[in-house]
A = this chain, B = another copy of it.
Amino acid sequence: MTHSPDVETTVSGDPLTATAIVRDVTSGARSAAEVARQSLEVVAEWEPKVQAFEFLDPALVVAQAQGVDRVAVKGPLAGVTLAVKDVIATKDMPTGHNTARYKGVQTGVDAACVDTLRAAGAIVLGKAVTTEFASTARGGKTRNPHDLTRTPGGSSSGSAAAVACGMAAVGLGTQTGGSTIRPASFNGIFGWKPTWNVISREGLKVYSLTCDTLGLYARDINDFDMLADVFDLDPCDVPQSLEGLRVGFCRTPMWEKAEAPMRAAMDAAALALKSAGAQVIEVELPDIFNGIAEAHGVILAREGRSAFLNEVRNTPDIGVQYRDLVSNARGITPESARAAYALADRCRASFDEIMGGFDVMMTPSSCGEAPEGLESTGDASLNSMWTLLQVPVVSAPGLTGPHGMPLGISFVARRYGDRKAIKVAGLAAPLFEQTGDDLT
In the complex, A11 has a CB within 8 A of chain B: no
Question: Contacts A107-B107, A109-B105: A306 and B205 contacting too (C-beta < 8 A)?
Answer: no
Query: In the complex the two chains form, is B352's CB within 8 Å of A119's CB?
Result: no
Question: Does residue A322 face the partner (Cβ distance < 8 Å to B)?
Answer: no
Q: Which of A172-180, A254-262, A308-316 interfaces with chain B?
A: A308-316
Among B120, B200, B209, B333, the residue within 8 A (CB) of A307 is B200
Q: How many copies of this chain does the complex contain?
A: 2
Contact with B along A91-122 (1 / 0, CB 8 A): 00000000000100111111011011001100
- B197 near A209 with CB under 8 A, answer yes
Taking CB atoms, residues of chain B closer than 8 Å to A202 are: 205-206, 307, 310
CA distance A200 to B209 in the complex (A): 9
A358 at the A/B interface (Cβ < 8 Å)? Answer: no
Binds B, one of A228-236, A241-249, A266-274, A399-407: A228-236
Interface flag for A305 (CB, 8 Å):
yes
A94: nearest chain-B partner, CB-CB: B108
**A334 and B109 contact, CB distance less than 8 A:** no
With a cutoff of 8 Å between Cβ atoms, the chain B residues found around residue A231 in the complex are 306, 309
Q: Is A348 an interface residue (CB 8 A)?
A: yes
A208 to chain B, nearest CB (A): 9
- Cβ B119 vs Cβ A310 within 8 A: yes
A330 within 8 Å of B (CB atoms): no
Query: In the assembly, what is the distance between CA of A222 and CA of B60, in Å?
Result: 52
Interface check A415, CB cutoff 8 A: yes
Interface stretch, picked from A31-39, A140-148, A337-345, is A337-345
Complex A-B: 28 CB contacts under 8 Å: A107-B107, A107-B109, A110-B310, A112-B206, A112-B307, A112-B309, A112-B310, A113-B310, A115-B310, A115-B313, A116-B313, A119-B313, A197-B303, A200-B206, A201-B209, A202-B205, A231-B306, A232-B306, A234-B333, A236-B334, A334-B414, A334-B416, A337-B415, A338-B416, A342-B345, A345-B345, A345-B346, A345-B348
